[in-house]
Amino acid sequence: MLTDRLVGLLRDELPAGETIGIALSGGGDSTALFHLCLAAGFRVEAVTVDHRLRPESAGEAAAVGRACADLGVPHAVRVWEHGAVAGNLMDAARRARMALILAWARERGIGHVALGHTQDDQAETFLMGLARQAGLPGLSGMRRRWEEAGVTYHRPLLEAGRAELRDWLRDRGLEWVDDPTNENARYQRVRARAALAALAPLGITAGGLAAVAGNLSQAQAALAVQVRAAAGHLRVEAGALALSSRLWEAPDEVHRQVLVEALRWLTGASYAPRAADLARFLAAVRAGRDATLAGCRFRKGWLLREAHALGGPVRVGLRWDGRWEVLGPAGEVRALGAAGLRQCPDWRETGLPRAVLEVTPGIWDGDRLLAAPVAGWPQGWSARLVASDHLFGLSD
């Protein structure tokens, strides 16, 4: 029976006895997730993110709230306040949505949030990875679960098809809203969905591609052991990474994955650079040649931030470049630079290269350098690296 199978997926994945937060857009997938959680006996709360990208969105969010109220389920709406969005709109919306859901869950004391992604989403993600020539991690599909800031996210319906969820809703007379964005071929995921339908005559289905992604995920999990071991040949110092020549004793794919994670750690980026750009950068790094990519620079065995990509000035006490916390008396934090380094009498005693120190924080009063904590001239200030994640468990 369909209900038993779908409810079984939820009970296998979601923790009993916990309040489950539901990311409830009102679309078919999240609506099915919501009602299945209720059918499975979970205690739930729901949140709807209004992206303010369509005139109808506020009314749709309010309708979701009324439906929750009818069932006695606590519901909240969180609005993405934004102006014009530059770049990839769907990616920006996804980031905003996840940030708003996280803030809501923490505010409500909810430790588990369920997302309504399906087998079809998994297959589409795989096709999108093929389009960008992704490596093994990019072809391994969506994560089933992960933890962020004390909240565990779950995708319990990755083995359920989009069509069967809608069939389940229809059988119960439950309605949902179809977002017209999901039919707009301007977006890559919509094109991937159309490509998947076109592949059906070859026997290539959402279920089949999701299974392939699952197989690759297992291979990636095995390879990750080697990647983590190879990462031991990196050393974190002053917010930069020193690369040991022993790193190159590992297989090529291990090098690639270590380098991707190193670049993401340095910049805070969510995604790896494009495959062709990464290949050129990796070739240069292996050969010991200077190279730049994605706001980072390789020079003489060190991987560091590129000066022009650093964050702008901030006041002492605010995070600089997304990764440094500077504490002490008042002042402006910005890159030390060559001019600042010349004012640090003992910088050579740090044993660190000039290029590394020039992209560490300096504390300034106009053009006058007040302090350079990482370059051996603290003068009452301190600087601590607070990158969001420690690279492979490494730390300064």
Considering only residues 365 and 91, tell me which one the structure prediction assigns the higher pLDDT.
365
Residue 76 counted as domain residue: yes
Confidence label for 25 from pLDDT (cuts 50, 70 and 90): very high
Considering only residues 164 and 275, tell me which one the structure prediction assigns the higher pLDDT.
164
Q: Which domain holds residue 59?
A: 2-210
Instruction: Return the sign of the alpha-carbon dihedral for residues 277, 96, 24, 177.
Output: negative
User: How does pLDDT run across 267-319, given as a tens digit for each residue?
Assistant: 988 888 888 899 999 999 999 999 999 999 999 999 999 999 999 999 999 99
CB 162 within 8 A of CB 119: yes
Share of residues in the chain with pLDDT > 90 (%): 83
Residue 146 counted as domain residue: yes
* Euclidean distance between CA atoms 278 and 282, whole angstroms: 6
Residue 222 counted as domain residue: no
Whether residues 205 and 318 fall in one domain: no
Residue 245 counted as domain residue: no
Residue 334 counted as domain residue: yes
Residue 273 counted as domain residue: no
Q: Which of 6-15, 96-105, 186-195 has the lowest mean pLDDT?
A: 186-195
Whether residues 43 and 179 fall in one domain: yes
Six-digit token string for 191: 């094109």
Whether residues 46 and 176 fall in one domain: yes
**What secondary structure letter does DSSP report for 128?**
H
Residue 304 counted as domain residue: no
CB 138 within 8 A of CB 127: no
CATH for 58: 3.40.50.620
| Residues with Cβ within 8 Å of residue 105, at least 6 apart in sequence | 21, 47, 111, 113, 151
* Euclidean distance between CA atoms 394 and 387, whole angstroms: 11
Q: Kindly compute the dihedral angle of the four CA atoms of residues 97, 103, 105, 109, in this order, to the nearest 10 degrees.
A: 180
Single out the residue in 180, 210, 240 at which a domain terminates. 210
Using alpha carbons, select from 360, 226, 342 the residue that is nearest to residue 302.
Answer: 360
**What secondary structure letter does DSSP report for 390?**
-
Whether residues 320 and 182 fall in one domain: no
Residue 106 reports pLDDT greater than 90: yes
Single out the residue in 187, 210, 233 at which a domain terminates. 210
Using alpha carbons, select from 70, 320, 51, 7 the residue that is nearest to residue 179.
Answer: 51
90: enclosing H helix or E strand: helix 89-108
361: enclosing H helix or E strand: strand 361-365
Q: Kindly compute the dihedral angle of the four CA atoms of residues 242, 395, 271, 136, in this order, to the nearest 10 degrees.
A: 80
385 CA to centre of own chain: 20
Single out the residue in 192, 210, 228 at which a domain terminates. 210
User: How does pLDDT run across 253-267, given as a tens digit for each residue?
Assistant: 999 999 999 999 999
Tally of domains in the chain: 2
CB 13 within 8 A of CB 6: no
CB 291 within 8 A of CB 298: yes
Q: Kindly compute the dihedral angle of the four CA atoms of residues 60, 63, 64, 69, in this order, to the nearest 10 degrees.
A: 160
CB 31 within 8 A of CB 9: no
Confidence label for 53 from pLDDT (cuts 50, 70 and 90): confident
What pTM was estimated for this model as a whole? 0.82
Whether residues 176 and 317 fall in one domain: no
Whether residues 182 and 66 fall in one domain: yes
Residue 291 counted as domain residue: no
| Residues with Cβ within 8 Å of residue 355, at least 6 apart in sequence | 297, 299, 300, 302, 304
CB 120 within 8 A of CB 129: no
